[in-house]
Amino acid sequence: MTRTLRDRTRTAPAVLLAVLGLLLGASACTTGRAATATDPKAPAAATADPDRIEALPDTPAPRLPVTVPSADGRQVTVTSAERIIPLNGSLAELVFSLGLGDRAVARDVSTTFEQAAKLPVITQAHEVSAEGVLSLRPTVVLADRSTGPAEAVEQIRAAGVPLIVLDDAKQLSDIGPRIDAVAAALGVPGAGAQLKERTQRRIAEVRAQLPAAGAARPKVAFLYLRGSASVFLLGGPDSGAPSLIEAAGGEDAGTAARLTGDFTPLTSEALVKAAPDAILVMSKGLQSVGGVDGMLKLPGVAQTPAGLDRRIISIDDGRLLSYGPRTPQVLREIADQLHRDAK
């Protein structure tokens, strides 16, 4: 999830935190297999299993020490990448994609891909345990602006562990700089350039296969759903989804309806005004409301063109808003479901 969703959970009622923790924790319980090397010039569809990370074919050797800027204004020197702890799923995806997954020694609850399944979890509902992190003797920790609590971050730094904060990724244009930043911090800038090129090329391949520019752009509403906690939100321009929707050949319904900010409570009036042709959701959110049939019972859904056509696009929670090497897969899945009638 993006920073906005994580921040929202921190200020939500305790029951919401508990439910989100259970949902995310359950999604992480998969079995692990060894990573396989694949052709970096293969098309975006080459990775058959969306729950696996496609590492670069050659394992890079970190060249350290390096001193890199942290997004919180510090300069951080990294002398070893032998024991890496990425504090969210998006950062873990980058570490494994760069070919350094065997150096990761822990994960957070949002790291759900297969190769990381056996790593110990050092967060609870996205709250970092400083004691858990330090007990694993990391040589470098990767975080972003939504990592917290702040006291845990400072405790890790006070113990002398290099901790780099990265800017959050909320749109396609953030992917390249984020790859560069992680690769630089781990001393593998060459691998970062290769991963960035592969990711950008695959995104371009997906976009090249979209319907002609003159074709109508279906409106897509992003809904964040957690049925067990009665959390139903309609995404706005800052939700993190508009960049994906637009790149897949759609129009963000929340933006078109002149919503502001990240999310607004889902109401019949708001959704009918947005009038989406399709609705984008995270897979566990869809499950939490009882699938498509249950979703049609939510306020306003059945009255929209999307509801009438049962046009629901469901993407895995751990991939949808990760904005990283698996984003080409996400774009392809959204585009295929969104433009199915045009094919």
Q: For every one of its 343 residues, what pLDDT tens digit does the chain have, with 9 covering 90 and above?
A: 444 454 443 333 333 333 333 333 333 333 332 333 334 344 444 344 668 999 999 999 999 999 999 999 999 999 999 999 999 999 999 999 999 999 999 999 889 899 999 999 998 767 899 999 999 999 999 999 989 999 999 999 999 999 999 999 999 999 999 999 999 999 999 999 999 999 999 999 999 998 876 667 999 999 999 998 999 999 999 999 999 999 999 999 999 999 999 999 999 999 999 999 999 999 999 999 999 999 999 999 999 999 999 999 999 998 999 999 999 999 999 999 998 765 5
Q: What domain range is 281 assigned to?
A: 212-339
b/e 136-166 (16+ beta carbons within 10 angstroms → b): eebbbbbbbebbbeeebbebbbeeebbbbbb
- Nearest residue to 101 via CA among 176, 188, 175, 159: 188
Last residue of a domain, one of 142, 171, 205: 205
Last residue of a domain, one of 182, 205, 228: 205
> Do residues 148 and 242 both lie within one domain?
no
> Do residues 74 and 184 both lie within one domain?
yes
> Do residues 135 and 264 both lie within one domain?
no
User: Does 61 reside within a domain?
Assistant: no
> Model confidence over 4-26: pLDDT tens digits?
454 443 333 333 333 333 333 33
User: Does 153 reside within a domain?
Assistant: yes
DSSP string for 176-211: HHHHHHHHHHTT-HHHHHHHHHHHHHHHHHHHHTSP
- Nearest residue to 8 via CA among 126, 111, 164: 126
User: Does 27 reside within a domain?
Assistant: no
- Nearest residue to 112 via CA among 1, 277, 233: 1
The CA distance from 169 to 77, in Å, is 23
- Three-class DSSP category at 144: strand
The CA distance from 300 to 223, in Å, is 12
User: Does 239 reside within a domain?
Assistant: yes
pLDDT at 294: 96
Name the domain count of the chain: 2
User: Does 48 reside within a domain?
Assistant: no
pLDDT at 215: 67
Spell out the residues 6+ positions from residue 96 whose beta carbon is closer than 8 angstroms to its own: 35, 53, 55, 104, 113, 115, 116
User: Does 12 reside within a domain?
Assistant: no
pLDDT at 314: 96
> Do residues 97 and 122 both lie within one domain?
yes
> Do residues 234 and 183 both lie within one domain?
no
User: Does 234 reside within a domain?
Assistant: yes
The CA distance from 227 to 100, in Å, is 37
- Three-class DSSP category at 306: helix
> Do residues 243 and 199 both lie within one domain?
no
Last residue of a domain, one of 163, 181, 205: 205
Pairing mode, strands 219-226 and 278-282: parallel
User: Does 181 reside within a domain?
Assistant: yes
Q: Decide: 225 and 315 in contact? Cβ < 8 Å.
A: no
> Do residues 188 and 311 both lie within one domain?
no
pLDDT at 228: 87
> Do residues 296 and 222 both lie within one domain?
yes
- Nearest residue to 285 via CA among 27, 52, 107, 88: 27
| CATH number (domain holding residue 286) | 3.40.50.1980
> Do residues 76 and 138 both lie within one domain?
yes
Burial of residue 287 (number of CB atoms within 10 Å: 0-12, 13-18, 19+): middle
How long a stretch of residues is the chain? 343
